[in-house]
């Protein structure tokens, strides 16, 4: 048996009970991106008590813990901490009722509707096993609790604050995400596993007037409507059907009253791509279409573009992923499989891309296995509440133990090289 999994098994149900309580606590106390003060403090205090060298406030609220255990590889394990500005609608006894102020000062509901509470809990469990069983591994472990994944700023903020020589340079970076899928399963993929994601805000400028005198106005509502329709042709008419891409207009805001033609309209859009050339082509097309529609409307000035967030491709290192896959197959058997690329995006890869270090990212299923099987039989998988749904509610067991086992199994590839894994 894998020595780290054997060490975990030696704790019996005690460790899982402790981690379940931690998970429920995090779920009930979600914090917005770059505001994860309580979560970061809990994580830092926990690993500090285990003997890690802890640095707090890395990239605003990030936490880095280092545990040295002789010669060997340096393995970085990462978990994101932030929650979403949305209300939870799960009816769970530990559901969030938190409200807080966002960066713009607006009061919003807050919920862990993406599963980052699981990610933090898994990493704390792995940190404990590694700290309390140093006899079965060697090398250096670096546990990283990252802020701001949901706004695409957390990984960059930590990298910018990293400093030369402040922390060991990892030989491998490992991360995981709870997703819709049968609980108890783990899925991986060499190469591209998550899309690149770009979100833009586009301001279109018109000329306001009375609704009864449209001839005196340049109507930004019509301009925005035409722009939205035209943007939909990028994927359908400009991108090859052999390439995958998504473009979604998530927000169109203009005006305050039915008989007032406003001065401007604002479009917010999101796009996902799996190839850098396709990404650049789409970004160029978006600008071309928005500018052309403004010209067609005789707008007095060109549109204004603001990048809201930008996530690079998550492209797993091929050789490292195959090593992790072999360990997963040995540990999980037919409960692990190769996944298709997901259209979600992550800033996890920024660490590896910046430092030129290989990384591996994988998925852990969180859906009740019977519920998933029934939905699959009825061809209704898309109706299972997914990440970012107000009804997203991964089952605690076996999701908790599977994620912990997966992280320890992957880490053991570099930390337990002399052991049979």
Look up the CATH number of the domain holding residue 377: 3.40.630.10
Task: Note whether residue 406 is domain-resident.
Answer: yes
Enclosing H/E stretch for 68: strand 62-69
Cβ 43 vs Cβ 124: under 8 Å: yes
Is the domain of 124 the same as that of 11?
Answer: yes
Is the domain of 172 the same as that of 80?
Answer: yes
Task: Note whether residue 420 is domain-resident.
Answer: no
Q: What is the pLDDT of residues 320-344, one digit of tens each?
A: 999 999 999 999 999 999 999 999 9
Question: Of the residues 258, 280, 310, which one is the last residue of a structural domain?
Answer: 310
The rounded distance, in Å, linking the Cα atoms of 131 and 113 is: 30
Predicted local confidence at residue 421, as pLDDT: 38
Is the domain of 189 the same as that of 220?
Answer: no
Predicted local confidence at residue 204, as pLDDT: 98
Is the domain of 183 the same as that of 57?
Answer: yes
Give the tokens for residue 265.
């309209």
Cβ 232 vs Cβ 285: under 8 Å: no
Is the domain of 53 the same as that of 131?
Answer: yes
SS3 83: coil
Q: Please give the C-alpha separations between residue 103 and each of 41, 99, 106, 267, 416, in angstroms, as whole numbers.
A: 21, 13, 7, 20, 44
Is the domain of 80 the same as that of 139?
Answer: yes
HEC string of 40-57? HHHHHHHHHHCCCEEEEE
Task: Note whether residue 421 is domain-resident.
Answer: no
C-beta contacts of 242-249 below 8 A and 24+ residues apart: 243/273, 243/274, 243/275, 243/278, 244/195, 244/273, 244/274, 244/341, 244/343, 245/271, 245/272, 245/273, 245/274, 245/278, 245/282, 246/195, 246/270, 246/271, 246/272, 246/273, 246/343, 247/271, 247/282, 247/286
CA atoms within 13 A on the CB side of 97: 4
- Is 114 known as a binding-site position? yes
Is the domain of 22 the same as that of 118?
Answer: yes
Distance linking the first and last C-alpha atoms of the chain: 6
Task: Note whether residue 58 is domain-resident.
Answer: yes
- Is 112 known as a binding-site position? no
SS3 26: helix
Is the domain of 35 the same as that of 168?
Answer: yes
- Counted domains in the chain: 2
Question: Of the residues 310, 341, 372, which one is the last residue of a structural domain?
Answer: 310
Task: Note whether residue 268 is domain-resident.
Answer: yes
Is the domain of 177 the same as that of 110?
Answer: yes
Question: Of the residues 245, 277, 310, which one is the last residue of a structural domain?
Answer: 310
Predicted local confidence at residue 1, as pLDDT: 84
Report residues of the chain scoring pLDDT below 50. 419-421
The rounded distance, in Å, linking the Cα atoms of 21 and 15 is: 10
C-beta contacts of 279-283 below 8 A and 24+ residues apart: 279/196, 279/198, 281/238, 281/239, 282/234, 282/235, 282/238, 282/239, 282/245, 282/247, 283/198
The domain of 166 spans 3-194+313-415
Is the domain of 175 the same as that of 286?
Answer: no
Is the domain of 45 the same as that of 146?
Answer: yes
Task: Note whether residue 322 is domain-resident.
Answer: yes
Domain containing residue 268: CATH number: 3.30.70.360
Burial zone of 333 (CB within 10 Å; 0-12 exposed, 13-18 middle, 19+ buried): exposed
Phi–psi pair at 389, nearest 5 degrees: -85, 145
**Sheet strands side by side (includes 62-69):** 53-58, 62-69, 139-146, 74-80, 172-182, 359-367, 186-188, 336-338
- Is 150 known as a binding-site position? yes
Predicted local confidence at residue 419, as pLDDT: 44
The rounded distance, in Å, linking the Cα atoms of 213 and 197 is: 41
- Is 116 known as a binding-site position? yes
Cβ 359 vs Cβ 317: under 8 Å: yes
The rounded distance, in Å, linking the Cα atoms of 97 and 28 is: 7
Task: Note whether residue 154 is domain-resident.
Answer: yes
Cβ 169 vs Cβ 74: under 8 Å: yes
The rounded distance, in Å, linking the Cα atoms of 368 and 43 is: 28
Q: Please give the C-alpha separations between residue 295 and each of 200, 282, 299, 303, in angstroms, as whole numbers.
A: 20, 20, 6, 10
Q: Please give the C-alpha separations between residue 90 and each of 55, 80, 182, 369, in angstroms, as whole numbers.
A: 35, 22, 19, 18
Task: Note whether residue 391 is domain-resident.
Answer: yes
Is the domain of 137 the same as that of 8?
Answer: yes
């Amino acid at each position: 048996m894998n020595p780290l999994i054997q060490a975990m098994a030696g704790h019996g149900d005690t460790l899982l009970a402790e981690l379940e309580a931690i998970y429920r606590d995090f779920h009930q106390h979600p914090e917005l991106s770059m505001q994860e003060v309580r979560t970061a403090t809990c994580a830092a205090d926990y690993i500090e008590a285990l003997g890690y060298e802890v640095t707090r406030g890395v990239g605003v609220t990030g936490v880095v813990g280092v545990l040295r255990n002789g010669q060997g590889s340096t393995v970085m394990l990462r978990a994101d901490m932030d929650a979403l500005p949305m209300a939870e609608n799960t009816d769970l006894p530990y559901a969030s009722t938190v409200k807080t102020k966002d960066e713009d000062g607006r009061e919003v509901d807050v919920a862990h509707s993406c599963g980052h509470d699981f990610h933090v809990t898994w990493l704390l469990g792995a940190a404990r096993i590694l700290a309390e069983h140093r006899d079965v591994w060697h090398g250096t472990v670096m546990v990283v609790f990252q802020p701001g994944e949901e706004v695409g700023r957390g990984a960059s903020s930590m990298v910018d604050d990293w400093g030369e020589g402040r922390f060991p340079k990892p030989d491998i970076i490992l991360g995981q995400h709870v997703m819709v899928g049968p609980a108890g399963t783990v899925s991986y993929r060499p190469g591209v596993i998550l899309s690149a994601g770009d979100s833009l805000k586009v301001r279109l400028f018109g000329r306001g007037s009375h609704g009864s005198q449209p001839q005196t106005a340049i109507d930004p509502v019509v301009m925005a409507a035409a722009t939205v329709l035209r943007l939909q042709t990028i994927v359908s008419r400009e991108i090859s059907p052999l390439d995958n891409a998504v473009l979604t207009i998530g927000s169109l805001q203009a005006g305050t009253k039915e008989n007032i033609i406003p001065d401007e309209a604002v479009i917010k859009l999101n796009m996902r791509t799996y190839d850098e050339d396709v990404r650049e082509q789409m970004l160029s097309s978006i600008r071309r279409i928005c500018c052309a529609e403004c010209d067609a409307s005789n707008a007095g000035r060109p549109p204004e573009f603001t990048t809201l967030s930008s996530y690079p491709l998550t492209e797993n290192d091929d050789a490292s992923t195959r090593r992790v896959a072999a360990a997963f197959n040995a540990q999980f058997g037919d409960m692990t499989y190769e996944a298709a690329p997901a259209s979600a995006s992550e800033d996890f890869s920024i660490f590896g891309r910046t430092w030129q270090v290989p990384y591996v990212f994988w998925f852990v299923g969180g859906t009740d296995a019977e519920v998933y099987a029934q939905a699959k039989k009825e061809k209704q998988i898309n109706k299972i509440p997914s990440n970012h749904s107000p009804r997203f509610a991964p089952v605690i067991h076996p999701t908790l133990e599977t994620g912990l086992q997966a992280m320890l199994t992957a880490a053991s590839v570099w930390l337990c090289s002399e052991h049979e894994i």
